[in-house]
Structure formats: C-alpha cells, structure tokens
Amino acid sequence: MSAVYRAPAWLPGGHLQTLYAALRPPPRAALARERWETPDGDFIDVDFAGPGAAARTLVLFHGLEGSSASHYARAIAAYCAARGWRCALPHFRGCSGEPNRLPRAYHSGDSDEIDWILRRLRAGGTAPLDAVGVSLGGNALLKWLGERGAEAGGVVQRAAAVSAPLDLVAAGFTLDRGFNRELYARAFLRTMKHKALEKLRRFPGLYDARRVARVGTLYEFDDLVTAPLHGFRSVRDYWTRASSAPWLERIQVPTLLLNALNDPFLPAEALLAATRRAAPEVVLEFPATGGHAGFPGNPGWLPQRLDAFFSAA
C-alpha cells in the first residue's frame, strides 16, 4: 500500500480546479447507446465509445447527477477510443436524460447495481475488464469491491476510484456548509429536486411535495427522498451504511484510490482517517492539488494516470 501525503491542509485552490475542469470539458467522443432492461423491470442506458471488438474494455461509473457528458467521462471515453479500446459508460437510473420507470433511483452505496452492470458486461465476452468510478460512482464501486472480496477478481482485473466521498457523513456535512453549499449543493439540488417532483407526479404519495420544494441542503433531501426510497431509515442511516470507507480493508482486487488533499467535497483529515485501514491491494494516491475530479486542470492527465495503473503488470 503506497500513499502520497503532501499537504495536510484543505487548499482553497481545490474549488478553482474543480470548476475549471467542469467548465472546460474536452470534445465528445462518438458514442453508441444501448438500453438495458434491469432485473426489476426498470432500465438503464449505457453509452459505448471505441470498437466493439476491442481487446480492452474500461467501465466508467459517473458521479452524482453525472452522465456520459460529464467532463471526466468525455476525457476518458475519448482517450479510450483514440487507442482502440472500448469504453462503457453506464448511466445510473434517471441520469441518461429520461426518467426511469420505478420509484427508486440511485444512491451512493448502490453496489448491487454496480454488480449487475459489471457481470452483464463480463458475461458478454468482454475481457479483460477494468472499472473506474468517479465521485459517487467511485464510492459505490469501492463498496462493491469490499463486499465481494476475492469474488470481484473474477469480474474485473483492476479498479480505480477518483474523488470518491469515502465517508458520506463527513462529505455530506462538508457540502452543506458555507461556500460549498452555495456552489455545489445548490447545483446538485436543482436537478435532484426537479427529478423528485417529476417522480411524485407519476407516483403520488412517495413524499411531501411542499417539503421537497423547501429543501435547502443535501441532508434534508437525502432524509426526505433518497433514504426512504432506497430502504434506509434516515439520512444518517443512509450516509453511514452507504459509505465505502469500512469496506476498504476487504478489497482484494488491485485498486487505485485517487483523491486530492484539496478536494472541497471531502476534507483531508476525513480522507486520511477513512483510508487508515485500507487493504494492501489498495494504492492510495493523494496529490496535494486536483480539487474534485479536476486533476490537474488538464483533461488528458486523468486518463493517462488510469491507463498507467490499469496497464501495470
């Protein structure tokens, strides 16, 4: 297990790197979309870049309210396609531009959905298979890796998590405070509240529309909507049980955990505490800067770093 601890402080530059990456996305790769029916009667949309008969496939799980159009997804898909690899970009339910059919949506600990998607890709003859998750997708992927242990090695060769909010309690309260609340939480809530109210029109009685309209924090939204829709007792129950940090010590697949120490979503002290007992198979890489999935202001850096890790013997 290796680690790079360069700056124990939460650096203000993390905001700039996060926003710069999001506001200057790379060009889109050509994508082909498939709709997959889920075992419970819903659907997800999966976008593919690169040739179908490629010798290598990378699966990318996006972050909260992300999609194949997210800046990191565009950079990674373009990089894979340019090298003749296959890149699969599954959308969590409701994130592909069309509402999903069921009351449930997706959440930060949705490891069963990760399992179903990866196993379907693996059963389709895709080999070798590597997986990366960014932000929420990274947390869900890490949780899946820890839950499945050695079994995960029969599905993926290697994995990576980028800017994953390993401790959802710490991350949630951090995002709901001060500048983070104004800059990030409000942006997330804008689309999440819209989807929740749209879902309520199709499924009356799920929750109180007036309370949804008044929600001003991620804590309130997850307590009112996300937690009860996905079988959790409360927001604290959800954030605690969905966090990937307790599962890091059980991971048995070579995994890169890449988080910047100035990530505005997860303070450095919470990051270091969450990874203290990570398994030897987990490579901890904590650069001083990079913000939240903004490494390092150059869209080509992250795909190259992932390629180097996945290509290692």
Q: Any idea which residues carry the catalytic annotation?
A: 135, 263, 292
**CA 195 – CA 279 distance, rounded (Å):** 38
**CA 143 – CA 108 distance, rounded (Å):** 9
> HSE (CB half, 13 Å, CA atoms) of 129?
20
Secondary structure E strands in the chain: 32-37, 43-49, 57-61, 86-90, 129-134, 159-162, 255-258, 282-285
CB 15 within 8 A of CB 262: no
Q: How far is CA 290 from CA 4, 20, 162, 166, 299, in A?
A: 13, 10, 11, 17, 11
CB 174 within 8 A of CB 266: yes
End-to-end CA gap in the chain: 16
Token output for 301: 């850096």
CB 45 within 8 A of CB 98: yes
Token output for 53: 């008969």
222: left (phi over 0), alpha (psi -120 to 50) or beta: alpha
